[in-house]
Structure 1
Amino acid sequence: MSMILNQTSIFNDNFLLNSEFAKTLYHNYAKNLPIIDYHNHLPPDYVANNHQFENCSQVWLAGDHYKWRAMRTLGIDEKYITGDAPDKEKFKKWGETLPYTVRNPLFHWSHLELQRYFGIDESLNEKNANNIYVETARQLKLNSHSVRGLLDMQNVELICTTEDPIDDLKHHKNLKSQDVSLKMSTAFRPDKAFAVENSQSFLEYLEQLEQVSHISISTFDDLLEALDSRIAYFHENGCRLSDHGLEFLPFYETGAFDIKALFSKIKNHKNLTQDEINYFKCETLKHLCKAYHKRGWVQQFHLGALRSVNSRMLNLRGRDSGWDSIGDFSQARSLGQFLNYLDTTNQLTKSILYNLNPADNELIATMIGNFNDGSIKGKIQFGSGWWFLDQKDGMEKQMNALSNMGLLSCFIGMLTDSRSFMSFPRHEYFRRILCNLIGKDVANGELPADEKWLGKIIQDISYYNAKEYFEF
């Protein structure tokens, strides 16, 4: 098999760059910048221990529900997706699938990943899947293709994983003690601390929180104290971000329900009503967000996912295995009220708002302007296209909405939000799309052909804004 780049491939140096100015912006200003991946779900133990994958199925297919959904749609049996089929057979089934993903971002991502990590310019298909499996397995045994080697190939400067409050952060500590240039931070993700939809699972979680915090949790105030202790622990270990996954950000005036009575109800294994559930989340989040502000953290809100829609397959395969979709939740009023509640006492910290429903693009783009108060550049951010929207159309729509109603120049750019160490070419994908967007405006006479100024804007969005915003 040829490992030499074929310049007749669509995935050549000027892929997605449709004007000379776009090419100049990308190659001279964006291409060689380091990557700050400020939100992902990578396993930190693999980073700390510099894990070596045995084959491409392990590094590329395992945990990737984007690929799993495509394979299922094509009628591939689950045993080749999340089942017990051998790794090679799973890879071959993915090889059968990829040619049928045309116009899905998987087609672009997958070919870029094969090129960037393995130098393979062939289009993966049923006929060459076996040979590509063998070749990638050979390369993955090399030191250059360890976990840190893969990150180094993409010029990754920093990754920020996502951990529950009960995590001991031992892998982050381990990496920090090593003499390596790669930096790994974490984001505090306390979703389980207010997941009171099921009282039994919530109480089981409280037992774990009690153990790590050394605080007996008998009341709501005890819960907040335990969370405060974990925030302090995370802060001591370099954490400066939080993250929350919510259908919407609920808001109630304090006192709308008796929080002590709600906590007692949960402790007695009784389920709450939907309003009571939302109130509990709101009161917990109010406290957490004030704690983040006190420590100068950045808070992130991922809004709008309708999770675990297929209960039959959820029971068979578990969460985060591809049974989620875009939701159509009402966002604006309660989001504005919640942010305003924090801002009224000047306790609104730097915040990033991500929406999963593209219908909410303009909503979020205008909401951030309500709370950008001049104290910090880009204090409230409209997060990059997320999950189902981290593809070309989704990225362009997000950036167009931000451009029309805010300042694209202050945008902190792309993240992978991924569980895969092979997902980092998505930063290249984003940078190419960004450069093409600006290049198109220049070609249309809508922006001046000021290479140095627009090049600086591109560099800021691709790297420097994030570095300044997170103080990495």
Structure 2
Amino acid sequence: MASIKTFINDDFLLENKYAQELYHTYAKDQPIIDYHNHLPPNEISDDRVFGNMTKVWINGDHYKWRAMRTLGIKEKFITGDGSDKEKFMHWAKTVPYTMRNPLYHWTHLELARYFDIYDLLNENSAEKIYAETADKLGSQAYSCQNLLRKANVEVVCTTEDPTDSLEHHQAIAKKDLDFKVSTAFRPDKAIFISHDGYNDYIDALAKASGQEINTYGELCEALENRIAYFDKNGCKLCDHGLDKMYFESYTESEILAIFAKKRSGKELTGEETSKFQSAILLFLSETYHNYGWVQQFHLGALRNNNARMHRLLGPDTGWDSIGDFPQAEKLSAFLNTLDSKDKLVKTIIYNLNPADNEVMASMIGNFNDGSIKGKVQFGSGWWFLDQKDGMTKQMNALSNMGLISCFIGMLTDSRSFLSFPRHEYFRRVLCNLFGAEIQNGQLPNDMEWVGKIIQDISYHNAKEYFNF
């Protein structure tokens, strides 16, 4: 069995002595604030014990699923009715073929950090690794809460729909945990008026808010009701997954008529859809301002490309990709409209198309008005870009167009309790970026000051920004 002690070693990704010092002295031991993920709060509340690696590592991970499908693994052993062990064995077969994909690095980092396993995962090692990890994952020492502790997590912020009861967050709040669990309000289903099932969703929102929703005004009242409910339960963030920012001119009477038309079961035009989505986004953002929340916008995903597989498996199962939507003009108008009313809250913009990195990095500078440090943020490399090259490009664009020293750093955006070494991965890339420029003379060899910037990006900036 091949050992990779020389692969995932202390200086992994750290290419010179300056990068090594920055990481080991300033970044490594900083706590983790994971301010955006999709972890199930019920599993944290129940302190789930998973029992094996498939349950904690493969189920729900569409990154792995895409790689397995590419290799020709049958769906039975990915999301189908194959046994947990069979699914793990097929993932182990896939791993050696993922070289140069971030999955190869993440896989071995996670085995090392959580299980102290430094063997290459492949068909030959799979049986031993499955048994060794199952033995650990069957114990309380590897429960959800203890996996978070092993990763030095200080804050996790999950993501919930406005209709969510937040019962699991309420249960968590009653526990005496040594880390904080919060949530983010994600109203996408109330925004996308042209999607199938929209009226059924509005009915569910009406039930959750305890009021009828027959008019646009009642929709706004219901959403504000849920925002107040989330706020009462400790929520201070919101999130939106959009292909692009929507901004069209509209009148109030138009929006009232568009919503009434939809509720009557009639199809909307593209123009009507865009106007409605513009109106509801502005309403939501102004309401967030009233509650002092941080708003997040994930822009640029082209979702559910494979209609056949979407029908079979549903959303978030690995059929999404990078989109090439126009971003700058509408985003500028949206932010400017809020700013002109003095209702632009702290805002994080995540970009999925690397061609738009400089657009986003320069855009945030238009609305950083000196009132708050780093008020408008260019978020960390996201989804297809949360790998070494993607993170480097995002940080280079931010450095060139703005102040990377004010950057709030990494997040997992993950459904896996084993994903937190992505923070380590990010910090190593960050330290190597600065270390390389110290070595070539482009930055001074002032380790104390550069180290402070590294600590701020790794932890302190997020701590201050979110006031956790």
- What does residue range 39-438 of structure 1 map to in structure 2 within 5 Å? 39-198=36-195, 201-255=197-251, 258-438=254-434
In 2, the alpha carbon distance for the partners of 1:180 and 1:471 equals 18
1:15 and 2:9 correspond: no
Q: Distance in 2 between the 1:354 and 1:97 partners?
A: 30
What residue identity is the alignment partner of 1:380? V
The answer to whether the 8 A contact 1:257-1:276 is kept is: no
- Aligned pair partner of 2:438 in 430, 439, 442: 442
Distance 2:263 2:252 in 1: 20
Instruction: Work out the number of aligned pairs and report it.
Output: 468
Quote how far apart the aligned CAs of 1:408 are: 0.2
Structure 1 residue 253: deviation in Å?
Answer: 2.2
CA distance in 2, matches of 1:77, 1:235: 44
Q: Write the distance in 2 (CA, Å) between the matches of 1:458 and 1:172.
A: 32
TM-score (normalizing by structure 1): 0.98
What amino acid is aligned across from residue 11 of structure 1 in structure 2?
A: I
Distance 2:302 2:374 in 1: 29
Post-superposition CA distance 1:393-428 (Å, at most 9, x none) = 000000000000000000000000000001000000
| Distance in 2 of aligned mates of 1:405 and 1:397 | 12
SS of equivalent to 1:158 = strand
Whether contact under 8 Å (1:412, 1:461) holds in the other structure is yes
Structure 2: which amino acid aligns with 1:352? Answer: I
Unaligned runs of 5+ in 1: none
Distance in structure 2 (CA, Å) of the matches to 1:257 and 1:28: 60
Shift of 1:197: 1.2
Kindly report the root-mean-square deviation, in angstroms, between the aligned alpha carbons of the 2 structures: 1.1
2:185·2:239 contact (CA, 8 Å) conserved in 1?
yes
Determine if contact 1:249/1:334 at 8 Å carries over to the other structure.
Answer: yes
| CA distances 1:276-334 after superposition (whole Å, capped 9, x unpaired) | 11111110011100011111100000000000000001111111000000000000000
Give distance in 1, aligned partners of 2:381 and 2:227. Answer: 28
**In structure 2, what is the Cα distance between the partners aligned to 1:324 and 1:365?**
24
Aligned match of 2:455 in 455, 459, 463?
A: 459
| Cα distance in structure 1, aligned partners of 2:402 and 2:177 | 38
By how many angstroms is 1:215 displaced?
A: 1.3
Question: Shift in Å at residue 254 of structure 1?
Answer: 3.2
Instruction: Name the SS of the counterpart of 1:301 in structure 2.
Output: strand
Partner of 1:26: 23
Cα distance between partner residues in 2 of 1:350 and 1:20: 37
Structure 2 gap segments, 5+ residues each? none
Q: 1:142 Cα deviation (Å)?
A: 1.8
Describe the superposition over 1:138-177 as per-residue Cα deviations: whole angstroms up to 9, x where unpaired: 0001222101111111100110000000111111111110
Contact 1:247 1:305 in 2 (8 A): yes
1:37 pairs, out of 14, 18, 34, with 34
